[in-house]
């Protein structure tokens, strides 16, 4: 059947970009700000995939701390952080994250039906 794709305006520094939502799944990468109007469209998610570049600030990406804060605001049942720089070790970073949040990894497969 058909699936509606909902575009979600976000920002990458000063540039507007789009994430998207399909049912209970949303994907927002390459961004460092999500406006309130888009946050309203992100309520009730099962799975969120969100940008989280590194611990240190960056002009166009969320830090891991900012991403965790945004993930809490969105409140998805499960959040995977992506667009990850080499500065974050996978196992140790995942161990430090709140329940329901983890770093994505190569080969990760999600069922979004």
If pLDDT is split at 50, 70 and 90, which confidence band does 11 have?
Answer: very high
Dump pLDDT digits (tens) for 39-54.
999 999 999 999 999 9
Q: What is the pLDDT of residue 113?
A: 74
CA–CA distance, 32 with 61 (Å, rounded to integer)? 4
The CA radius of gyration of the chain, in Å to the nearest whole number, is 13
- Catalogue the E-assigned strands of 15-103: 15-22, 25-28, 47-51, 78-82, 101-103
């Amino acid at each position: 059947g058909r699936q509606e794709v909902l575009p979600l305006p976000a920002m990458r520094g000063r540039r507007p970009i789009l994430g998207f939502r399909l049912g209970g799944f949303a994907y927002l990468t390459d961004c460092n700000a999500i406006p309130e109007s888009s946050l309203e469209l992100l309520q009730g998610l099962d799975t969120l995939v969100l940008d989280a570049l590194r611990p240190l600030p960056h002009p166009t990406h969320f830090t891991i701390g900012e991403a965790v804060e945004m993930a809490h605001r969105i409140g998805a049942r499960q959040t995977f952080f992506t667009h990850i720089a080499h500065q974050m070790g996978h196992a140790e970073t995942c161990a430090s994250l709140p329940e329901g949040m983890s770093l994505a990894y190569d080969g990760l497969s999600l069922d979004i039906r």
